[in-house]
Structure 1
Amino acid sequence: MTPIRVMPVAVLSVCVAAGAARAEAEKPKQEEMQKVEIKGSAAKYDARRDDTASKTVVNAEEIQKYGDTSVNDVLKRLPGITVGGAAGRGGGEIRMRGLGVGYTQILINGERAPAGFSIDSLAPDVIERIEVLRAASAEFSTQSIAGTINIVLKKALKAAQRELKLSQAKGSKSSSSPSMSLQMSDKQDRTSYSFGANAWHFRYDRMTPTWETGADADGAPDYARASSWQDKGKGDGFNLSPRINWMLEGGDTLTSQTFFNWNRFASNSHGRTETAFGDGPDYDRSDNSYSNHSAFGRTDLNWVHKLEEGAKFDLKAAVSEARNTADSLQLAGNRGLPATLLRTVTSASTEQGFSTQGKYSTPYTFDDKDAAEHALSMGWDAGVTQRDDTRVQRDADLPGSSPINSDEGFTAKVTRLALYGQDEWNITPRWSVYTGLRWEGLDTRADGDSIDPVQNRSSVFSPLLQTLVKLPNKKDQIRFALTRTYKAPSTAALIPRKFTSTNNSPTEPDRRGNPNLKPELALGLDASFEHYWGDGGLLSASASVRRIENYTHQGLFYEDQRWFSTAINDGRAETRGIELEAKFPARVLVDHAPNLDLRASVSRNWSRVDSVPGPDNRLDQQVPLSATLGIDYKTPDGQMSTGSNFSFRNGGLARLSGTQGGYTSVRRDLDVYALWKLDPQNNLRVAVSNLLAQDYTTESLYNDSHGSINRMTVASGEAQLRVTVETRF
């Protein structure tokens, strides 16, 4: 049924109503056949296969399969998505097409999280589904050059449900992480609700070694140093996510949803450097303590008003607030002499926001003779954010010291407005087209005692086109997408305040914002072929290309006897990629095969930055190759299931500018899980993540006419065993 592909809920409702109207005029047997046909069509609806705008949906069962406590661990197993950094250390960049910070748009319920909020702190148990959009749509922001990942939080259920999960994780190197999750939902008359609560604690103790070597202009080694960094830390946090739905007269709905996140963290670290020959660093020993408290809350109210002939109006308003405080103390010295650096840094930030979204949508046909179905919608997305940020650095006036004191506070206001319209059009039963237009404007203003006033205004007009062609054999289909997207500079990147490094060098520079940054603009083309067969079988191949103007990267400069880094616009860049994916149950290949589900994917990415000399002039240290391989098994009685997933991410050398480079090692993750359904109310889940426990190596490189520097750091890998008890009551 073609209409189901474009508007599955609305069209299905029309079909059901039409079937009911015919029921009295038809025979009982015909009536029964009609009901079976409608239910079958609804059950077979698949967003990835049937929606014109390309979208992959990961459901709650897949999200919770491995008992993860971090959403990053869920994302690393998805085809075409990689997570940066060392396994198990958290905070890694989430990448699509191998591209890093800012190129991949991360949304929570369709909205961006505030600055400083870590997606890694979002508990998977509060997530209903994850939507992966590889091509931009007008309804969401087009700040999505690589793509969009929309994390949708759980909603109220129709049936009563109460579930408690208790989990304990233990690492191979003394780390531990207990956690708890409570999910409740119920319905009474026209009101339904859900409530989720998650709490966790973690503790770690790890050693990170670093080696740094230098050479003169002739390539002769002139110094060599070895450093060790011992870091002990602990943290706590919790999420709360209450939601209430009211069914109003006339079919309207009113929904209130709140999300609250709180975290605290503390660490003590000790750095020691030994110099084999040549000059040593400014400080060869450093003792540090750090603490952080953060909280984020958002509540929104959503009203859906039904109109005549299947039209509806969707209005949402939300308020949010985020608070973050941090304190650090650093004591450093050199060559066994008394300390010459005693530095305290105190920072605090508050971000308050208001946003509103509205959408009018309606099915439409141009005339009674025209069988083509349109799903038209138009709307707005607006918001304003006020941020107050202070950072005070004080260096004690010790003998032999050179104090650097600063008050880096600022106030910023970001205003955004977007207007859009889109049409999903079923031209024929086998051919559908999605067209969209979106205008989005941003205005950032900031001021502070230590900075000049900043005003940065930009706007982007994004035409979008996607099309889906279903071939006559009903198993194969082709997709094309042409998009214009962008990457806006973050507020922090625009503020020209300084962050000083302890041992200033080309590989450890100070940092500073740039108020003159412009958005990166990208023209993108995507194409894919999909083959479906059997019950759940899929083979797909896709290719993409992005041409980027105003490419932004970190420039390195030398000023007032110190190195500093700041973001700059620097010409053009281009990225290309191909992706292959397969998933299918074993029974589609072999009759009477075990109940196995198999899946595999591989992604190959290339890029080139015009202003950076090659070879290896990749965009934002792009991941050139990634792959996943997974298998799941379920016993015939469904009482036990098990599986494993292997993720591979290639690294290699990347040139960032004419003088800078970087290297990352290969990362291999092997995860396994087993789930036992002890009885209808109780489950036992056991999982081992990062079973290979591989170390992760990164290098920072610098080379100019005066010589070269190579700084290599090794983050140790750690396997983790997690046992989870799940009970329903």
Structure 2
Amino acid sequence: MKRHPRASSLSRALALALLPAIAPVALAQDAAPDGSIAGDPKQLDTIVVQGEIAYRNRTDDTAPVLSYDLEYFQRFEPNTVGDMVKRVPGAAFVGSDIMEFDGVQLRGLGGGYTQVLINGKKVPGAGDDRSFWVDRIPAEMVDRIEVLRSNSANRSGDAVAGAINIVLRDAYEFDGSYLRLGVNRAFDGEVNPTFGAVTSTEALGGRILAGINVQDRYRAKNKRSDRFSDPSMEELVSWEDQVEVKDGRDYSGNLSYTADVGETGRLSLDGFYVKTDRDVTEVSFEEEYDDDDVITADVPGMATVDQANWGLGLEYRFDMAGGTTELDVDHARFTDESWESEEEHVYENGEWDGSEGEAEYIDARDAETSFKLAHRRAVGATAEMELGIDYRRKKRDFAFTTYEWEAGDEGDAVAYALDGTVASVIEEKRLDPYIQFSGEAGVLAWEAGLRYETTRSDIRYEEDGDERDGAASKDYDELLPSAHLRWNLTDADRISLSLARSIKRPNFNELIPALLDGEFGDNDYIGNPQLAPETANGVDLGWEHRLGRNGVVGINFFYRDVKDLIEVVNTGAPSREMLDTWEDMVDDGEAASIEEAMIAEPADSWVFTSANVGDGSVYGVEFDLSTPLNMFGLDDTGVFLNYSWVESEVDDFLGERRFNNQARSVYNVGFIQDLPALAASFGISYRMQGDAHERILGEEVTVEYGGDLEAFVEKRFGKSVAVRLSAANLLDASKDEFFHKFDTLGDQVDRDYDEYELESEEAGPSYQLVMRWAF
């Protein structure tokens, strides 16, 4: 049976400290009598020329963990972690553009409910909901992907839906070198290169691994929008054709160093850097009908994206006082400097009618520093105790600046003027002690623990440079118990049960008490810094069966009871637009006072905010199969299948609905056929994501994605060279969105439409030719 890769010194120590499923088993299996890790590094040429089909790892974890080596994904030549994660059970990407996989959603819940870890550590990301965009990490940096279905005490508890752990390659695990050279071809004929290199060897008294990756990322798509007065589609109000091109380059690198210190110590250093430079251009043509008039508009748009993620970590592990002690110090940052603008040049019946433009600039800095101290020791003959404390400091500095322009005459040069700036600083400090026990007794393995998370947050914000605008603070503490049980019914069958409490902290913009005009139709929005976090009590019950030598099949049932759900509510205060309307009525003599104006023109738009309003629930089933067909005598044929189905209930301002943007189902199916006599392979995979719905104030959206068909063919040359041709989106799938738009809450209740829009985008097939050479 293929051996599950041992973790590296840094990622392993993090896994021991933060991923409870790995800790006791890894120590028992891999620790030598002198405290070092037994075994030889894995040769990197096995990554280049795969001698057999790779399947899902069947781990010995007590907590429910699914583990997938890079080899599981690699023959389809993924470019990013998003391309990898889309193949694991229950991973959806609602909201991503067609052929892009950035904000992962486990169990169909929004990105903020899914924790993304790198080497077991939290990292800052681009999402306002605290999510991390997994397409920022190139696949070539990865050793394996782990899906952590339930929480444990020695890991941060903000993972209501579960966690994705991206384990990077490290010096202790791998030995050797290889190059990856390739080209990508888009459907419009654009060709872009990709390059990667990895090397690992003994150096500086230990082992060192370094990897670099440079890849051009290009995506062109065509979009069509048709807008009607209502869903009957009897009256076409306007239509729009758009061509969008995203053209950029990603630079990335990772470095890992590990060395033994003394008889039992191990020192590890780890770092990664990812930079995204991207230009986005949009060219749109719109046509609108107003009685007998035809109004057309040329709408050019552009954006520049400059984002970077990097992280550094130091870890030292040593034997002390009859146990093992770990010290971790980590720092990670995310920066975003992005500019976006859109102009509109309007013509009525062929005559110029006006030109205007809007632009926005984002300057974001997000930094997290953490320190961890943990001690693990035996308790009795069969149990182990882990006692630790995590300290984390997060600072998010965000500035959003808007600009506007309006032409006086046709052909005037575009000259943007400052419109306004909203800036905020959010600081969070956490000190989270925990205790966890684990052990085995015959066919039973168990784990139980308590984690106490304390959060101290300070919020400062200003509008247009006025530092006196506001400040607020909010403190909260949560006790998060967890318990896991694994029962080995036979050598092939086992049942797992997990109970855990988890937490979701508020989105950043939900905390900032700055008034946003017209955020929801005609309604305004103001954040609420006194929001409490959402919490969830969760249950996972699973069964797993070994199929022959490499195969595995499993099914898992889950339930989450979410408390203190955050939803948008009406403050009862009229919107700024209504206040302006009443003041205009008084100034124009239509009313003697504001009170009289309010009676003559009752408010129909309001200021809304976020509040903890009640409870919600999520439940479903997840099935996965990964096996060779050796039971039919087809040892060189591997099949893969996973399917997830979810249901949920939430109460909002209009009543009951599902969680927003929750795909009801997602499945992957595929096969790989190896041809040993020809030193070749080929395979096909198909992915389908169910429809998702979103209901917010003033807008309701349904999102549908077409099926994604991928294929590859591979030829191997000896033990050092492999060439693969892969293709994605062979069915030219589309992303289709249906928008129900309303001006006010009353209109939404009465179904009095402002507009009904159908929008569809396509990006065409893409092809990739890659050569890998080990040396």
Aligned: 1:295 with 2:323: no
Shift of 1:94: 0.8
1:580-619 superposed matches below 5 A: 580-587=623-630, 589-590=631-632, 592-611=633-652, 617-619=657-659
Stretch deviating more after TM superposition (553-562 or 683-692): 553-562
Q: 2:737, 2:407 → 1: CA distance?
A: 35
Contact 1:629/1:645 (8 A) holds in 2: yes
Q: How does 1:443-458 map to 2 (within 5 A)?
A: 443-450=456-463, 451-458=469-476
8 Å CA contact retained: 1:419, 1:438 = yes
| Secondary structure at the counterpart of residue 571 of structure 1 | strand
Instruction: Kindly provide the amino acid, as one letter, of the partner of residue 403 in structure 2.
Output: R
Counterpart secondary structure, 2:433: strand
Q: CA deviation at 1:130?
A: 1.1
**1:5-44 matched pairs, under 5 angstroms:** 7-12=24-29
In structure 1, the residue corresponding to 2:229 is in which secondary structure?
Answer: strand
Measured after TM superposition, the shift of residue 229 of structure 1 is 2.5
Measure how far apart 1:53 and its partner are: 1.1
1:315-352 CA deviation, whole Å, 9 max, x = no partner? Answer: 11022333321223332243353544233433322233
C-alpha contact 1:556 1:565 (8 A) present in aligned 2: yes
Which has the higher relative contact order, 1 or 2, with Cα contacts under 8 A spaced 6 or more apart? Answer: 2
The alpha-carbon deviation at position 194 of structure 1 amounts to: 0.2
Q: Does the 8 A contact of 1:689 with 1:721 survive in 2?
A: yes
SS in 2 for 1:535: coil
Return the offset for 1:655: 5.9
**1:54–1:135 CA contact under 8 A, matched in 2:** yes
Residues 29-84 of structure 1: CA deviation (Å, up to 9, x unaligned): xxxxxxxxxxxxxxxxx974522111111112124231111211111111222223
Query: Which residue number corresponds to residue 486 of structure 2?
Result: 468
Mark the runs of 5 or more structure 2 residues left unpaired by the alignment: 1-20, 36-55, 127-131, 410-414, 464-468, 578-604, 742-747
Alignment of 1:164-313 (within 5 A): 164-188=179-203, 190-215=205-230, 224-277=237-290, 284-307=297-320, 309=322, 311-313=323-325
One-letter amino acid of the counterpart of residue 10, structure 1: L
- Aligned partner of 1:31 in structure 2 is none
Distance in 2, matches of 1:147 and 1:194, equals: 30
Seen in structure 2, the aligned counterparts of structure 1 residues 666 and 612 have a Cα distance that, compared at 3 Å, is farther
Of 383, 396, 418, the match for 2:392: 383
Range that drifts further, 269-278 or 578-587: 269-278
Mind listing any 5+ residue stretches in structure 1 that lack a counterpart? 19-45, 366-370
Q: Distance in 2 between matches of 1:647 and 1:485?
A: 30
Q: In 2, Cα distance between the equivalents of 1:293 and 1:701?
A: 33
Count how many residue pairs are aligned between Structure 1 and Structure 2: 681
Give the Cα separation in 1 of the matches to 2:201 and 2:677: 29
Helix, strand or coil at the partner of 1:349? strand
1:639 paired residue number: 679
Equivalent residues of 1:614, 1:655 under 8 A apart: no
- 8 Å CA contact 2:740, 2:757 repeated in 1: yes
Asked if 1:416 corresponds to 2:461, the answer is no
Deviations 1:621-668 (A, max 9, x none): 31112212121222335832322221111115x362686432122431
d(CA) in 2 for partners of 1:559, 1:340: 28
User: Would the aligned equivalents of 1:77 and 1:645 in 2 still touch at CA under 8 Å?
Assistant: no
> d(CA) in 2 for partners of 1:726 and 1:166?
7
Residues 513 and 579 (structure 1 numbering): CA distance in 2 closer, same or farther, change over 3 Å? Answer: same
1:538 equivalent among 552, 556, 575? 552
| Match among 694, 702, 726 for residue 663 of structure 1 | 702
> Of the candidates 667, 680, 689, which is equivalent to residue 627 of structure 1?
667
Change (3 A) 1:164 1:578: same
What amino acid maps onto 1:297 in structure 2? Answer: W
State the distance in 1 between where 2:365 and 2:26 align: 41
C-alpha distance in structure 2 between counterparts of 1:698 and 1:607, whole Å: 21
2:503 is matched by which residue type in structure 1?
A: Y
Q: Deviations over 1:435-485 (max 9, x none)?
A: 0111112222222332421323222211111111122x4322211111111
Closer, same or farther in 2 for the Cα pair 1:158/1:449, shift >3 Å?
closer
Q: Secondary structure at the match of 1:384?
A: strand
Which deviates further from its counterpart, 627-636 or 271-280?
Answer: 271-280
Contact (CA 8 Å) 2:219, 2:763: kept in 1 or not?
no
The answer to whether the 8 Å contact 1:529/1:540 transfers is yes
Q: Which amino acid aligns with 1:599?
A: F
User: What TM-score, normalized by structure 2, do the two folds share?
Assistant: 0.81
What is the letter of the counterpart of residue 109 of structure 1? N
Q: Secondary structure at the match of 1:72?
A: helix
Q: Percent identity among equivalent residues? A: 18
The C-alpha deviation readout for 1:470-527, integer Å capped at 9, x for no partner, is 22x43222111111112111334322446678xx873x98776442332111111111
The answer on whether the counterparts of 1:331 and 1:339 sit within 8 Å (CA) in structure 2 is no
How does 1:438-587 map onto structure 2 within 5 Å?
A: 438-450=451-463, 451-471=469-489, 473-497=490-514, 506=521, 513-553=527-567, 559-561=575-577, 567-587=610-630
- Is 1:108 aligned to 2:153, yes or no? no
* Alpha-carbon distance in 1 for matches of 2:365, 2:96: 30
Give RMSD over aligned pairs: 3.2
Contact kept? 1:79, 1:601, Cα under 8 Å: yes
Shift in Å, 1:675 = 2.4
Structure 2 residue identity aligned to 1:452: G
Contact 2:330 2:369 in 1 (8 A): yes
Name the structure 2 match of 1:374.
383
C-alpha separation in 2, matches of 1:278 and 1:312: 79
Give 2:149's match in structure 1, choosing from 123, 134, 138.
134
The aligned amino acid for 2:250 is G
Q: Please tell me the residue identity of whatever aligns with 1:625.
A: S
8 Å Cα contact 1:613-1:658 kept in structure 2: no
How much does 1:565 deviate?
Answer: 7.4
Q: Structure 1 residue aligned with 2:401, among 380, 389, 392?
A: 392
Q: Distance in 1 between matches of 2:293 and 2:316?
A: 64
Deviation at 1:279, TM superposition (A): 11
Whether the 8 Å CA contact 1:108–1:151 is kept in 2: the answer is yes
Quick one: which amino acid aligns to residue 318 of structure 2?
H
Summarize the Cα distance change of 1:648–1:69 in structure 2 as closer, same or farther, 3 Å threshold. same
Report the TM-score, using the length of structure 1 for normalisation. Answer: 0.86
Measured in 1, the distance between the counterparts of 2:294 and 2:117 equals: 42
Give the Cα–Cα distance (whole angstroms) in 1 for the partners of residues 421 and 153 of structure 2: 42
Distance in 2 of aligned mates of 1:724 and 1:613 = 52
Contact 1:668 1:692 in 2 (8 A): yes
Retained in 2: the 8 A contact 1:85–1:92? Answer: no
Partner of 1:25: none
Aligned to 1:41: none
- CA shift, 1:283, in A, is 9.4
Amino acid at match of 1:598: V
In structure 2, the partner of 1:357 is: 372
Give the Cα–Cα distance (whole angstroms) in 2 for the partners of residues 261 and 141 of structure 1. Answer: 24
Q: C-alpha separation between the residues in 2 aligned to 1:659 and 1:680?
A: 60
Residue 705 of structure 1 aligns with which residue? Answer: 750
Deviation at 1:133, TM superposition (A): 0.7
Distance 1:553 1:727 in 2: 53
Residue 436 in structure 1 maps to residue 481 in structure 2: no
How far 1:429 moved relative to its partner? 1.0
2:326 alignment counterpart: 314
Match of 1:43 in 2: none
